Amino acid sequence: MSTDFPFYIAGRAERGAESLTVTSPFDGAVAGTYTVPTADQVDRAVQAAADVLVESRALSAASRAAALDHISARLAERVDEVAELITAENGKPIMWAWAEANRAVSTFRWAAEEARRFSGELMRLDTDAAAAGRMAVIRRFARGPVLGISPFNFPLNLAAHKVAPAIACGAPIILKPAPKTPLSALLLGQILAETDLPEGSWSVLPVADETSAELVTDPRLPVISFTGSEHVGGIIAAAVPGKHVTLELGGNAAALVMADWASDADLDFAASRIATFGNYQAGQSCISVQRVLVDEAIYHRFVPILAAKVADLATGDPSDPATVVGPMINEAAAERVQRWVGEAVAGGGSVLVGGDRSGSQYPPTLLADVPEDANCYAEEVFGPVMTVGKFSGVAAGLAEVNNSRFGLQAGIFTHDLQVAFRAHAELDVGGVVVGDIPSFRADQMPYGGVKNSGDGREGLASAMKDYTDVKVMVLVGIDL
């Protein structure tokens, strides 16, 4: 595999003047090199997207689906290579990189299926006598070219969640990957270039954040799909009030362990799942478990099991298939987490497991008695740190989950169907997972949050709605 990656302007490989190197967060090994597009190249990409809109909208379902099927198949053929690149640039343990690469295969496959059924609907209008003989044909058309901004934590699959729905609904797309991890998106560009999609219908631009700001305000890109931090998302939304902006932002995911989840097998299962998915991706997932809330009836049984599971997680070299928790994206991120843990302890919290940073590696850490105003409890840690606390009864547990300005997903461990439906109705989150951690996501389902976790939804069909507008055609004089 070549480690020197071109970028893509209107579907064609090009190079810029400035060359940059991407290194591993684990050991500094070179993952690859790439060049940065010039201002002229960026402008050509955007103009090409604007110019191809009519042609892109008119692509047949067969053409869109064929391109998406090809991308899915080629990712499947190259899955080991793709996973190794994700690990090399992101530091993600190879076990999770394989999972991400295979998820991207499915994301493009789902998009191909959605492209084939992207048909619209009929609505008879003669439900009122005045509209006798009238039928509405309701279809969706791409609003315009999309600016898709993807983050570092899932450098391939979250790029896929920008590109795949755009192709499926006929929207040209400019993909802007995270500067820390652009290589996986550039590899995706290699595969996109093998398709017969029209020139201009896609570009991959590994530009600096300053250029991103210019792309955000460019009137030729009326749709923005952003996944990233709450802070940056807020800046984007404020900068372009006239654009259609979808934001998948931060989280502070809670796992709620109810009193009825009380057998030894139940507690062991919940502890295993929470320990793993509070620390997978080094906690750098917006739905990784951060707050563990346990009914007081089982708290003293559950916490020692959870602590033991957290302590047993294998850390170290992300290229080792046995490693579960690798490094954070860089040492600065690990230092921030270290500061936040220190502040939590100074405020009265206690470290049950972990807490000792080594370079960019922060160990899986479990805290108890953390004040509610501490960053580790109230903010998105985005690191391998969980807090554990107790509550008494269903109402108190649900209220504590809602005691957050974030609302992405929540997990609730219960066997009680009534409690499950109550949680679904009362929790202020975009998704509730019953019987498992909040970190579960199927790539075809609607995914997104409420409150400060953003708006809009990812998931292929949902994103296609965000990328498109409804148009109604009324047919008159039809014998219904």
Instruction: Give the tens place of pLDDT for each residue, 140-198.
Output: 999 999 999 999 999 999 999 999 999 999 999 999 999 999 999 999 999 999 999 99
Q: Extract the tokens encoding 376.
A: 């580790």
Cα 391–Cα 325–Cα 373 angle in degrees, nearest 5? 35
pLDDT at 67: 98
- H-helix segments, 347-468: 375-378, 394-401, 417-426, 460-466
465 vs 91, 143, 168, 248, 459, CA distance in Å?
34, 10, 11, 15, 10
Q: Please name each of the domains of the chain with its CATH number.
A: 4-249+453-472 (3.40.605.10), 253-442 (3.40.309.10)
Residue 37 reports pLDDT greater than 90: yes
pLDDT tens digits along 412-435: 999 999 999 999 999 999 999 999
Residue-level pLDDT at 28 = 97
Q: Is the pLDDT reported for residue 210 higher than 90? A: no
125-148 average pLDDT score: 97
Residues labelled as active-site residues: 248, 286
Q: Please report where in the chains the tokens 């049984």 appear, as a residue.
A: 301
Burial class of residue 225 in the structure, from the number of CB atoms within 10 Å of its CB (0-12 exposed, 13-18 middle, 19+ buried): buried
- pLDDT tens-digit readout, 248-288: 999 999 999 999 999 999 999 999 999 999 999 999 999 99
**Residue 257, phi-psi category: left (phi > 0), alpha (psi -120 to 50), beta (remainder):** beta
d(CA 9, CA 7): 7
Q: Give the Cα separation of 436 and 255 in Å (integer).
A: 8
List, for residues 364-397, the tens digit of each pLDDT value.
Answer: 999 999 999 999 999 999 999 999 999 999 999 9
Identify residue 460 by its one-letter amino acid code.
L
Give the amino acid at 57.
Answer: R
Report the SS3 class of residue 299: helix
Which residue, chain included where needed, has tokens 């998406």?
68
> What is the pLDDT at residue 209?
82
Question: Is 1's pLDDT higher than 70?
Answer: no
Q: How many CA atoms lie within 13 A of 409 on its CB side?
A: 23
265, two tokens: 């097998």
What is the rounded average pLDDT of the residues 454-479?
97
Q: From CA 432, how far away is CA 406, in angstroms rounded?
A: 14
Phi, psi of 3 (to 5 degrees): -110, 15
pLDDT above 90 for 211:
no
Report the chain's mean pLDDT, rounded to a whole number.
97
User: How far apart are the C-alpha atoms of 332 and 236, rounded to whole Å?
Assistant: 24
Percent of the chain's residues with pLDDT above 90? 98
Q: What is the pLDDT of residues 9-29, one digit of tens each?
A: 999 999 998 999 999 999 999
Closest to 247 (Cα-Cα) out of 466, 453, 454 = 454
- Phi, psi torsion values for 407, nearest 5 degrees: -160, 65
What is the pLDDT, as a whole number, of residue 197?
98
Question: Distance between CA atoms of 21 and 228, rounded to whole angstroms?
Answer: 22
Residues 48-71 have a mean pLDDT of 98
- For residue 434, give both structure tokens: 């019953």
User: pLDDT digits over 78-113, tens only?
Assistant: 999 999 999 999 999 999 999 999 999 999 999 999
> Is residue 218 within 8 Å of 42, Cβ to Cβ?
no
Q: What is the pLDDT of residue 433?
A: 98
**Separate counts of helices (H) and strands (E) for the chain:** 16, 23
Do residues 35 and 17 touch, judged by C-beta distance below 8 A?
A: yes
